[in-house]
Chain A
Amino acid sequence: MIELDNVQKSYDGGATLAVADTSLTVASGEFLGLIGASGCGKTTTLKMINRLEEPSSGEIRVNGRNVLEQNPESLRRNIGYVFQGIGLFPHRSVAQNVAAVPRLLGWSEDAIRARCEECMDLVGLPYAEYGERSPNQLSGGQQQRVGVARALAAKPDVVLMDEPFGALDPITRSELQEEFKNIQQRMDLTVVMVTHDMTEALLLADRIAVMREGKVLQIGTPHELLTAPSHDYVRDIVAMPRKKAQRLEELMRDE
């Protein structure tokens, strides 16, 4: 479970707020989408959860513990992190990339090996075939699969994702989206995913928080957002996928 209480973030001593007085709760096993335009504060909000950014005020708790009272490194080791840049270590093999966090946590070699095989199977890259490869030998989609496997390797129950599928081609993207949704449900992961793609948010998230200028305008299920938008802005950003869906429906009817 993740709780944000009146969290604020300012980079200029309070003159402007990147994130303004935000409170939200993500229940265990829930998938929350954070959506908004560039610069709306969604990524900052995400990064404050694993202390890649520090809040200026307010409190953030992960599984009931204030993150500011924890060592940032050990906090991050217990939270999966996947981002658009992927950031695999090019000088390490795929298996070593996946093993990175368990190794930081000091697991035994046998446990690391077993967990690597498990995670790589989970993302569809069998250890025997891909373990010794260099990340540079993989396609973009395969690299992000490794990125997901690395995030899950230490068995976190919370995973943070920052536009994880943004750089992938549409087909690979929807494949990965679907597979990740399955993994999330199967492993009962608590996920916060930042995206600017409303369709992605609507399809994956249990609830969506729409952010604008550092504030959360509305939080609700996809259904609530589509049927009862509380602001014009929310109506506008859900209108686009709606229009597309309607257009597709018309096309199918015309045939």
Chain B
Amino acid sequence: MNENLREQLLLLPAYFQGHLLLTLAAISCGVLISVPLGVWAEQSVRVKRPLLTTVSIIQTFPSLAILALVVALLGGRIGFLPAFIALTLYSMLPIVRNTVTGLESVSNSVIEAAKGIGMSPRQILREVKLPLAMPVIVAGIRTAMVWTVGLATLSTLVGATSFGNYIFTGIQTRNLVAVTVGSLASAGLAVGLDSLIACVQWLVERRNEEVDSKRLRQLRVAVYAVIALVAAIALYGILPQPRADFVVAGKPFTEQYIMAGLLAGELEEAGYKVERQLGLGSDVVFSAIRSGSVDIYVEYTGTIWANYMNRESNPGRAEIRAGVIEYLQRQGVQTAGFTGFQNRYALAMRRDRAEALGVSSIDDLLEIADELSAGADLEFFGRSEWLRLRDLYNIDFARKLTFDPSLMYTALVEGQVDLITAYTTDGRVAAFDLVLLDDPRGALLAYDAMYLVSDSAASNPAFMGMMGSLAENIPDQAMRQANRLVDVDGESINAAIDYLRGEIVED
């Protein structure tokens, strides 16, 4: 546990820096856009209504949808830019609205006086209306700041670094320490930045006071120091970083975190600089490898066959392999061979239940299926594999329930369902002593894990040599045990990677 915490804390500087830069960039840009818009809206009724409606509508969009839309509008570009744009849009409503409200709340008699003594409209705005509206405007900025810090965690899903990396990795690998560290860090950052703005506001409101107490001066120095530090940390990220030699990516589940970590570790050991893009969505990572913004990740033949090639048939493992390789060549995606393990769907039962019912293959279920409850992950019953299973065996279950994968195993172990669609390399198969049922009619697809490689990485002989030494080197059993270390035994991803490397060396 302490080792786990230490590992998480080692990630803190990079995630903090990413989160801070993202938040500050979005808020600064949001202020620069929203305050002038608010000033404009306050001066013109014709602008005010449409503008406030527009920023309100932006706010009602689910934040994930905004992120996805921005990525789509940028032509599939992932990373800092789409997250920055989405967060900037999201910061606008409280700032625009408070700017308008603040300016409108300035008393008419003050404005008449300003006009009456000969201030120009610009002077009235700058010297009277804006200073008097400032507390309300700053309150809006603070609201936006707190929202933005929270929302920035979601930007992990589009490949920007933030505390969200902790949270999403932690949820997928059931690492509560990571989730807690990420949540606390995010909350702490929100509180810290909010207090910083409050301090600045307090000092600005007192800048004209001639009684300049010693404590006030000390506070001022302290606040400036903190601002300088925060700015330096955020700006450090803008400095040209030494460009990574290779980008290693993965999807958001345990096996993918382990494999990405393994690949990155091998490359780093060989002296390469590696950038990790972990927890990316399936479609995002496949388009990224095609465009070359990702150099290597592990993909499954069944996924390519069913999801990208849209095939509904199951011609068998070897034919799927051949079909996939041909398809990848047409798509301009290179491969560095297969990993050696296969992570496919299999129907699984508790051993005692299977023995009591005398079940060892799907054929044995035919007589009793209408009395059984089946549990599956969120997508299985919507996939062509389920339709094929149903039609080939002419089978259906009394109840079909869908679960988050981790809850699916719990439901089976506790007897709430009779069988589930397990993953064959899942560590919980062995941990809970589950029986995987044979599939004699070949309904379920093969999911051979393979290394997908970008064009540029494939043209590097040293890289391909290293990957070649990994090919066909990881048996099902080793991957299952690595997954088990994380999912069942609560070990860290790094512990699982170390284990897996040991297995490979022995081989």
Question: Which positions in A face B, CB cutoff 8 Å?
Answer: 50, 52, 72-78, 81, 83, 85-91, 93, 96, 100-101, 104, 132, 147, 150-151
Contact = CB atoms under 8 A, between A and B. Distances in A.
B116 A52 contact: yes
B114 A87 contact: yes
A78 B118 CA distance: 8
A100 B117 contact: yes
Interface stretch (B104-112, B225-233, B251-259): B104-112
B118 A85 contact: no
Contacts of A52: 112, 115-116
B378 to A, nearest CB: 57
The dominant DSSP class at the B interface is helix
A86 B109 CA distance: 7
A89 B116 contact: no
A85 B114 contact: no
B210 interface: yes
For A72, A83, A87, A104, the residue with the greatest tally of chain B CB atoms inside 10 Å of its CB is A87
Contacts of A88: 110, 113
A195 to B, nearest CB: 17
Nearest to B211: A132
B119 A87 contact: no
A83 B119 contact: no
Interface string B105-149: 001111111111111100100001001100000000000000000
A164 to B, nearest CB: 12
B2 interface: no
B208 A101 contact: no
B440 to A, nearest CB: 83
B114 A74 contact: no
25 contacts: A50-B116, A52-B116, A72-B118, A74-B118, A76-B115, A76-B116, A76-B118, A77-B118, A83-B113, A85-B109, A85-B112, A86-B109, A87-B107, A87-B110, A87-B111, A87-B116, A88-B110, A89-B113, A91-B131, A93-B208, A96-B208, A100-B117, A101-B118, A104-B117, A151-B117
A29 B98 CA distance: 48
A97 B115 CA distance: 14
B110 A83 contact: no
Contacts of A91: 131-132
For B107, B113, B208, B210, the residue with the greatest tally of chain A CB atoms inside 10 Å of its CB is B113
Nearest to B120: A73
Nearest first, the 9 closest Cβ-Cβ pairs linking A and B are: A87-B113, A85-B109, A77-B118, A76-B118, A81-B116, A87-B109, A73-B118, A87-B110, A91-B131
Nearest to A105: B118
A83 B116 contact: yes
A20 B432 CA distance: 98
Nearest to B117: A101
Contacts of B107: 85, 87
Contacts of B131: 91
For B113, B117, B120, the residue with the greatest tally of chain A CB atoms inside 10 Å of its CB is B117
Nearest to B135: A91
A252 B210 CA distance: 55
Nearest to A97: B113
Contact of B112 (A87, A104, A150): A87
Contact of B117 (A77, A85, A86, A96): A77
Contacts of A85: 107-109, 112-113
Contacts of B115: 52, 76
A68 B299 CA distance: 79
Contacts of B128: 89
A89 B108 CA distance: 11
Contacts of A77: 117-118
A75 B128 CA distance: 20
A104 B119 contact: yes
A86 B116 CA distance: 11
B42 to A, nearest CB: 18
A91 B119 CA distance: 16
For B108, B118, B123, B210, the residue with the greatest tally of chain A CB atoms inside 10 Å of its CB is B118
Given A147-B113, A151-B117, 13 more contacts: A52-B112, A52-B116, A73-B120, A76-B118, A77-B118, A81-B117, A83-B113, A86-B109, A86-B113, A87-B114, A88-B113, A89-B113, A104-B123
